Amino acid sequence: MKLSTINFYLDWPVSIELKHLREFIITNLEKKGDVIRWSIVDIQNSIDSFGTKKLKIKAVLAH
């Protein structure tokens, strides 16, 4: 097993409710590896007219 740290940017569309945000992030992170540690470290509001927010996630993944 090898570990890597990534800074991962993810668009959070308005269609994803807050109560589903964790699951949404995990689903996207798991495409990149086995998740050891993660956290949202920054959010930018409304990057488009649809109200999409941009998340910056720092994660440690195992491969």
Partner 1 sequence: MEISPTIFIIPTGIGCEVGGFAGDALPTAKLLASASGCLVTHPNVMNGGTLSEKDKNIFYVEGYSLDRFAIGEIALKRVKQQKIGIIFDSAIESEILVRHLQVADACVSTLGINVHSYVVTKKPLNIMIDPDSSKMSGGTIENPDDLIDAGKCLIEKGVTAIAIVAKFPDDSDSSETNIYREGKGVDPISGVEAVISHLISKFLKVPCAHAPALKSIELNENLDPRAAAEEIGYTFLPSVLIGLSNAPNIVELPSKHELISLHPDQIESIVVPSGALGGEAVLAGIEKGLNIISVKNQNTLKVTNKFYDYPNLFEVNNYLEAAGIILAIKKGINLKSINRPLKKIQKISNND
- Contact residues: partner 1, CB under 8 A: 1-5, 18-22, 25, 36-43, 45, 53, 55, 57-58, 60, 62
Residue 9 or 62: the one with the smaller Cβ distance to partner 1 is: 62
The minimum distance between CB 40 and partner 1, in angstroms, equals: 3
Give 48's DSSP letter.
Answer: S
| DSSP classification of residue 46 | -
Q: Which residue has the tokens 């570990």?
A: 3
Alpha-carbon distances, residue 9 vs 1, 14, 54 (angstroms): 24, 16, 7
* Least distance from partner 1 to the Cβ atom of residue 30, Å: 13
